[in-house]
């Protein structure tokens, strides 16, 4: 049961999609609070997001969704219905650099992240005080090349135990295995310090300065087996100047990363993202 819910729908474009979907909602007592739609001309795909309620009563999601499976099969589409009033359980993965972790916890503390942060997990101790200072459990899972498989298995067990809905890689500097990201597909968001992986490694802003770049960027995306190549949720940029030092690059980069990651996390938690192959449709 829920007070309101969001329907995400995608299928090949054809006449009557909105009419048929909204008729089903109407026939089951649904009231549309907000509807957004778009289509991709290039591949003839239609995308729909409907936020709906049921005036005077709570929503039985099984009742509302009973007819969607057959309708989606007929239209050749994919869909999901998710409650809006259930607090999702979010786990932050961090390493040494704490800026994204601090930003997410701060936004969560003032109510800007619509989820429950149930744990911070790190391969280092650097973010322990930050997490525990806000009453968030901290789990230290150290890792070496020889223990990587065992550490990841322990991480997977912990996420299961916590009932995790979303994993946020807040500058977590470990490469996750193909098996791990496949199991948690669509539930792991990463932040990358560029538009594309143009400057790999541990010193990206030093490389950017050496190349004389005029814009530095950040990309938030779903994690896949291909490093920094998952479906992009959001991006942001910051201008640079020849007067800037490396420290200026790093400071602007951190601010950019934090903002882009937080926006992507909110979009996911508010059920505004449809993954369509290697890209995403993000509703406003």
Catalytic residues: 228
Rounded CA gap, 171 and 100, in Å?
7
DSSP for 77-142, please give it. Answer: -EEEEEESSSPEEEEEEE-S--HHHHHHHHHHHTT-S-EEEEEEEESSSTTHHHHHHTT--EEE--
Whole-angstrom CA distances from 66 to 20, 71, 219 are 14, 10, 37
Rounded CA gap, 71 and 167, in Å?
32
| Residue 67 CB neighbours (<10 A) | 16
DSSP for 148-210, please give it. Answer: HHHHHHHHHHHHHHTT-SEEEESS--SPPPHHHHHHTTTSEEEEESSSSSSS-SS-HHHHHHH
3-class DSSP state for residue 257?
helix
Region of 90 please: left (phi>0), alpha (psi -120 to 50) or beta. beta
């Amino acid at each position: 049961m829920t007070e309101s819910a969001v329907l995400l729908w995608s299928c090949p474009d054809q006449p009557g999609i909105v009419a048929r979907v909204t008729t089903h909602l109407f026939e089951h007592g649904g009231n549309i609070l907000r509807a957004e739609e778009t289509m991709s001309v290039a591949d003839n795909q239609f995308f729909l997001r409907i936020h709906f309620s049921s005036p005077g009563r709570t929503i039985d999601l099984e009742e509302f969704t009973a007819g969607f499976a057959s309708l989606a099969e007929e239209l050749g589409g994919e869909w999901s219905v998710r409650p809006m009033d259930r607090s999702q359980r979010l786990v932050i993965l961090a390493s040494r650099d704490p800026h994204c972790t601090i930003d997410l916890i701060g936004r969560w503390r003032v109510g800007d992240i619509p989820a429950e942060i149930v744990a911070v997990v790190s391969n280092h101790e650097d973010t322990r005080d930050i997490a525990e200072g806000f009453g968030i459990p901290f789990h230290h899972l150290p890792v070496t090349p020889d223990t990587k498989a065992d550490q990841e298995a322990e991480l997977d067990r912990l996420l299961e135990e916590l009932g995790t809905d979303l994993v946020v890689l807040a500058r977590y500097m470990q490469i996750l295995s193909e098996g791990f990201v496949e199991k948690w597909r669509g539930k792991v968001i990463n932040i990358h310090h560029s538009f594309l992986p143009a400057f790999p490694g541990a010193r990206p802003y030093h490389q950017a300065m050496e190349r004389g770049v005029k814009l530095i960027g950040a990309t938030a995306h779903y994690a896949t087996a291909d490093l920094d190549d998952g479906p992009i949720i959001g991006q942001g940029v910051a201008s640079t100047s020849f007067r800037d030092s490396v420290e200026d690059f790093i400071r602007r980069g951190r601010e950019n990363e934090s903002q882009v990651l937080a926006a992507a996390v909110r979009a996911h938690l508010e059920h505004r993202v449809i993954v369509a192959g290697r890209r995403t449709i993000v509703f406003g």
